Amino acid sequence: MSTTPGFSTLVTKAWDKTYVRQAALVASLLIAIGVTQVELFNWTTRTASPWIASLDLHPSLCTNTANCFVPAVGITDWERNRIDAQYQQIGGRAKHHFDVMINLYSNYYVFIVMAALTGVAAGIAIFLVGRTGWAAASTSGLVIVIAMTSAALLYRSLPAVFKQEENIAENKRLYLAYVALENETRSFAATGEDVQGVKQTAGQFIHHLDERMSVLDNIALGFDPSKVPAVQEIGSPREIGPPKTEGRDQK
């Protein structure tokens, strides 16, 4: 007869070990947090998709570039093609900044919600563990407190580390600036005038678009590693634990 233990026997023996159960608990908590974060991000992205679909962006300045500009605008084929190429590039940049803004908004929402959820979970765990006393608390309870508190601290720090508010505001500003430049290009094609109503040649307007795009040329993604919480900011067990009792417990 074989004396080799079966798989179920090995699993049972492993599960009897405390560190295995605690590792499984931590893994379960991390999986639950990860799944919740992914589902929240997918939900916010789906919610924002109608905004992206309603963008008024055109791949070309005109469906028929040969008849795009009014007769009053003296323009060569080379100039017409250059302005159309600039217009397409402006539209691409506008869509880039809009997509980045939506992505940042989605992540910002997820981080805020996850910070609230893990913070509430940490508070409940601390309350339940504190009722029995920290010294008499089970290892599983302490693991949950540490995991949820760490997760709440992480999600609270992420928006500042990734400078999400600043990046969202800057991408929104650039998006609106490129949309304004698109409208300016359409108006020039219809009137031959700039935003002040001053007549311009096609060559002057080409240089104007190049100058404006060079000013707006930016990838608005910044980070601030100094916002990563230091060990001193996390707090010691004395600061996290229940308050000291007064009266009969003190001599």
Question: What is the reported pLDDT for 52?
Answer: 58
CB 154 within 8 A of CB 166: no
Q: How far apart are CA 107 and CA 164, in angstroms?
A: 8
Question: What is the reported pLDDT for 250?
Answer: 41
Please list, residue by residue across 132-154, b when 16 or more beta carbons sit within 10 angstroms of its beta carbon and e when fewer do: eeeeebeeebebbbbbbbebbbb
User: 12: which residues sit within 8 A by CB, 6+ positions away?
Assistant: none
Residue 3 lies in a domain: no
Which among 108, 112, 105, 107 is positioned nearest to 152, based on CA atoms?
112
In degrees, rounded to 5, the angle at the alpha carbon of residue 81 between the alpha carbons of residues 76 and 82 is 95
Residue 248 lies in a domain: no
Q: How far apart are CA 209 and CA 83, in angstroms?
A: 8
Q: What total of structural domains would you count in the chain?
A: 1
Q: Which structural domain, as residue segments, surrounds residue 186?
A: 10-225
CB 105 within 8 A of CB 48: yes
Q: How far apart are CA 86 and CA 23, in angstroms?
A: 57
Per-residue pLDDT of the chain (251 residues; tens, 9 = 90+): 444 566 677 667 666 677 677 788 888 888 988 898 888 888 877 776 666 555 556 667 766 656 677 777 788 889 988 998 999 999 999 989 988 998 898 899 999 999 999 999 999 999 988 888 878 878 888 888 988 998 999 899 989 988 899 999 999 999 999 999 999 998 998 888 988 889 999 999 999 999 999 999 888 778 778 777 765 554 444 343 443 444 434 43
Question: What is the reported pLDDT for 232?
Answer: 52
Residue 163 lies in a domain: yes
Question: What is the reported pLDDT for 242?
Answer: 41
Q: How far apart are CA 206 and CA 47, in angstroms?
A: 38
In degrees, rounded to 5, the angle at the alpha carbon of residue 81 between the alpha carbons of residues 76 and 86 is 125
Q: How far apart are CA 90 and CA 155, in angstroms?
A: 35
Residue 1 lies in a domain: no
Residue 233 lies in a domain: no
Amino acid in position 223: F
φ, ψ (nearest 5 deg) of residue 85:
-65, -40
CB 128 within 8 A of CB 236: no
